[in-house]
Amino acid sequence: MEVSDKNRLKKAVLLWNPSAGKNLKEGLLLYALAKQAGLAQAPVKNYQEIEEALLNYSREGKRHFIVSGGDGTISAFITAYLRHLPDQEIALTVLPGGTNNLIAWDVSRPFRQVKIFMNFLKAKKPLILKRRALKVIPGNYYGLFCAAGLLAEGTFFYNVLRKKEGIRGLKNIFKVVRKTFKKGLKREIPLIVETNSLVYFPETAMLTTLNKLFIPLKPFKKVSNCPKIKIGLFPRKIVPFKTLCEEEVRLHTPGIALDGEEIESPANLFKINVTKEITFLKW
């Protein structure tokens, strides 16, 4: 899609998650700005609504999707897109409307989603970024970063505590983080990471196709130009860690965290590879 197209507003649509952290305050402002500009918009609260909106607006000729929400919302959109419309070329703008916005650190901006949206409405020129997604089997899920082992266990416990504390935006977030670290996570089943050539037994594995993943130590420096899966393998004490660049990897574990969302495998096995490139517009 040419971003300089005179009909760019007609080809675009805003999808916003009203239950996402920042959208509890900013969602209605995005809605008002879209309505004033004559831009199509729809609130989407879950995967089914995202899938329905994507398919309906695609049939109407929309090719630029502006999605406001956290990492889970963006992951759900990418999953719906690659499940149903993998051959259709679209552009995706990420608005950081969630409590956690790790994806936005790379393909958008981590804060001030209203300003980002205004830059689009004012027809400012965006950066065009290309990123592949991770494809996860079983389940045919898609995302941009994945954790297994102790970090996945911590993510699951963190999400449980978030719901228990009734977090709205960043409220109580630091209390939840403290409780997560105090728990002292242990796993009954060891994590096994299998590549095409070697097998590893780390405590934690992190996988991504992003260039800027906002995490401590930035463990993917050696594979920053990797066009495949960037992998970081960590022992319990974090260092020394190992980095890899692989086309495909198999994780022997009961569950993983894909873009912060829990996915389980009854067979304790996940196969992860990469998809085609997705176009992101960074305003």
pLDDT at 179: 52
Q: Which fold has domain 142-275?
A: Tumour Suppressor Smad4 (2.60.200)
pLDDT at 238: 61
Say whether 142-275 and 12-132 share the same fold. no
pLDDT at 173: 44
The CATH class of 12-132 is: alpha beta
pLDDT at 176: 43
Model pTM score: 0.85
Report domain extents, the chain: 12-132, 142-275
Which 3 state secondary structure label does DSSP give 164?
helix
Residues 6+ apart with CB under 8 A from 181: none
Check: CB of residue 209 under 8 Å from CB of residue 234. no
Mean pLDDT by 10 residues, the chain (283 residues): 64 95 89 96 97 98 97 96 97 93 93 96 96 95 89 58 50 48 57 92 90 58 79 75 90 88 90 97 96
Question: Could you please report the per-residue DSSP string of 98-126?
Answer: SS--TTHHHHS-SS-HHHHHHHHHTTPPP
Cα 124 to the chain's mean position, in Å? 25
pLDDT at 156: 54
Check: CB of residue 83 under 8 Å from CB of residue 143. no
